[in-house]
Amino acid sequence: MTMSMGRFGRHLLFSSIVGLALGGAAVAGEGQPSPWEMKLQQAATPVMENIVWFHNFLLWLITAITLFVLALLVIVVVKFNAKANPVPSKTTHHTLIEVAWTIVPVLILVAVAVPSFRLLFFQLDVPKPDITIKATGNQWNWTYSYPDDKIEFTSIMLSDDERAKMNPVPPRLLAVDNETVVPVNKVVRIQTTAADVIHSWAIPSFGVKIDAIPGRLNETWFRATKEGRYYGQCSELCGKDHAFMPIVVRVVNDQEYDAWKKQQQVASAARKSYASVGAAAQ
């Protein structure tokens, strides 16, 4: 059965509208991409709230500038074409206009620069951390250490078979076996490095994306304000399984975090996975 072009167009328009409506609803608080998503993922940290605000501010600004330039072009085309204006003016200078088109763009740039630098410093200045997590990128998974708590584990993507056995079924290509757990409303310092090639640790809902470079320790921070699971992916091309080393941060309340921490400390000690635990046990 073939669809006529008209019907196909209507079908596409209808599914776009439905998709937008559903997509908008599905985005709420999920910390993961959703079908037909048009906007940024929902913010779960103050940094991301700032990024969303700045993005929207720039969008309005650039829309206004574009419409203004378009209006000027239309006026020129209509009013000053050879037919409508056979004898062109010989004006070459106009002081007021020249001053205005120098000063107004400067003011616009200042209006962009102020919130831009404020956001940059907000992202880069790590506040006093409540916990520190070191994320090491490997080809192709992540190792997480909590150096103060002697916890270390590796986080590997779940296969389709593994996911199918779970209830509810976690998202494809995003779910992992060992999730990184952090307490809600606490400042988490993330330090990144890599064991082989450059990776990048990124979670859209947190507004975090930081390269993990062999031989270097980069750091950034986040403070998740809502409990839930937040998904991200390695964001630096790092080899054949680059697309299969997702990142999951589960934000929980303090009691759940303490319980998880105790359990992980026992598991890490048993595996001797944390270097200093292994050394102490010998």
CA distance 124 to 192: 14
User: What would the DSSP string read from start to end of 110-158?
Assistant: HHHHHHHHHHHHHHHSPPPPSEEEEEEEETTEEEEEETTTTEEEEE-BP
The smaller minimum CB distance to Cu ion, of residues 157 and 238, is found at 238
By CB under 5 A, tell whether 199 contacts Cu ion. Answer: yes
The nearest distance, CB 201 to Cu ion, in angstroms, is 9
**DSSP letter, residue 236:** S
Distance CA 34, CA 19 (A): 10
User: Please, are residues 41 and 27 in contact by the beta-carbon 8 Å criterion?
Assistant: yes
Minimum CB–partner distance for residue 210 and Cu ion (Å): 12
Please state the closest distance from residue 264 (CB atom) to Cu ion, in A. 24
Q: Which is nearer to Cu ion, 154 or 265 (CB)?
A: 154
| Residue from 48, 135, 174, 234 binding Cu ion (CB under 5 A) | 234
Which of the stretches 21-29, 157-165, 213-221, 231-239 binds Cu ion when contact is defined by CB under 5 A? 231-239
Q: How far is the CB of 262 from Cu ion (least distance, A)?
A: 31
- Of 243 and 266, nearer to Cu ion (C-beta) is 243
Q: Give the DSSP letter of residue 205.
A: G
**201 vs 274, which CB is nearer to Cu ion?**
201
**Strand 218-222 relative to strand 141-146, pairing:** unpaired
Rounded Cα gap, residues 115 and 111, in angstroms:
7
Given candidates 190, 238, 247, 252, which one binds Cu ion under the rule CB under 5 A? Answer: 238
Q: How many residues bind Cu ion (CB under 5 A)?
A: 3
| Interface residue list for Cu ion (CB under 5 A) | 199, 234, 238
